Amino acid sequence: MQKILVARPIFPDVIERLKQYFNVDWNDGDVLEADEFTRRLADCDGALTAGDPVGAAVLAAAPRLRVVSNMAVGYNNFDMNAFNAANVLGTNTPDVLNESTADFGWALMMATARRIAESEHWLRAGHWQKWAYDGFLGTDVYGATLGIVGMGRIGQALARRARGFNMRVIYHNRSRVAPAIEAELNAQYVSKEALLQQADHVVLVLPYTKESHHTIGAAELALMKPTATLTNIARGGIVDDAALVDALRAKRIAAAGLDVYEGEPKLNPALLTVPNVVLTPHIASATESTRRAMANLAADNLIAALGVGPQAGHPPNPINPEVLGKARA
C-alpha cells in the first residue's frame, strides 16, 4: 500500500477517506519543524500539506514522492522549478473558497473603514462614558471607489458584492480580463498607480510571486489618499509591513485590515502598537463548509494523482500537469 504524509491537522473523516487507499502518517499536532517534515516525508509516495515549504532539498530526500497536494489556492510554499525538475506533481484547491474569502475580505474592509476593532477595544477598556459627534469617525463604503488589485476569481467575487453598495469598481491585474467580464462587473481597468490614487478602499487579492513581493511599499502607500484604507487577504510579502506601519502611524492612509503577514505566523510586532489596523490570523477561508471542501478537494487530488479512486490518474487541480505520467526524475 502506498504511504502518504498528512502534514497538518485536518478533519478526521477526511483522514478516514485517505486510509481507504493509503498507509497514512498523520500529524495531528503542532506544525512540523522542517527537519521533522523532511524525515517523515522520506519514504512517502504523496503528501497533503497546508503551507509547508517544499523545495529541492525536501524532494531530493523523498525519492518515492510523486505528488504534494496543497490545501490552499496559493502555492508559493512550493518551489515549482524543483517540482518540474523532479517530475513531482503539485496540486491546489481553487474555486471552493472563492465566496467565503470574498465575504471575509468584504467584512475586513468594512471593519477597517468603520474602525470596528479600534472602537470595540476602546469600549472594552471602559472608556465609553458619553456619545460624541466625532467619536470614531470612519470612511463611507457605500458610493465609494473600490480598487481591486488582482482580478481573479476572488477579485471578481468582491466586485460583484460592490454592486450592492453602489461602488465604482476599478482594478489592476497582470492582464486585463475579458470585456464581457468587465461589463458584467461594471469594472474599469486602470494602472496600479491610478488605482492607488483614485481608490477609497484598496483590496489586495493577487498571488504571491517574486514579482509581486512588496507590491505595496512606501512609494505605493504615498500615492494613496489620506482617507483611504488598505485590505490584504492575499499573501504576506505582498505588502511591506514595516512601510505600512510607518504610513499608519503618520496617518498617510486612514487604516488597514490584514489577514496575512510577512513571515507568518510571526508578524511585525510594530503592527500591534498602531490602533488604526484590524488584524486577523489568516482566516479568510475559515468557514466549516469551505475548509471541509478544501480538505476533501486536497484529498481528491492526492488520491487521483496516486492512481487510485474514481478519478485515478486525473487529479482535479494539477498545478504542473505537464509532469503527469512521467517517471520520477
Catalytic residue annotation: 235, 264, 282
DSSP letters for 122-191: HHHTT---S--TTTT-----TT-EEEEE--SHHHHHHHHHHHTTT-EEEEE-SSPPPHHHHHHHTEEE--
Whether the bond into 9 is cis, omega within 30 of 0: no
In the structure grid, which three cell numbers stand for residue 248, read together?
A: 499608519
Nearest to 118 by CA among 280, 281, 283, 277: 277
CA-CA distance, 282 to 279, in Å (whole number)? 9
User: Which sign does the torsion angle of CA 7, 12, 14, 17 carry?
Assistant: positive
* Cα–Cα distance measured from residue 226 to residue 222, given in angstroms and rounded to the nearest whole number: 9
Count CB atoms within 10 A of the CB of residue 256. 27
Which ranges in the chain belong to alpha helices (H)? 12-19, 34-41, 56-60, 80-86, 98-113, 116-124, 153-163, 179-185, 192-198, 218-223, 241-249, 288-305
Alpha-carbon gap, residue 266 to 264, rounded angstroms: 4
CA dist., res. 158 & res. 171, Å (int): 11
3-class DSSP assignment, residue 301 = helix
Angle between helices 153-163 and 98-113 (to 10 degrees): 60
**Burial class, 269, CB count within 10 angstroms (exposed 0-12 / middle 13-18 / buried 19+):** exposed
In whole angstroms, give the CA distance from residue 260 to residue 140. Answer: 24
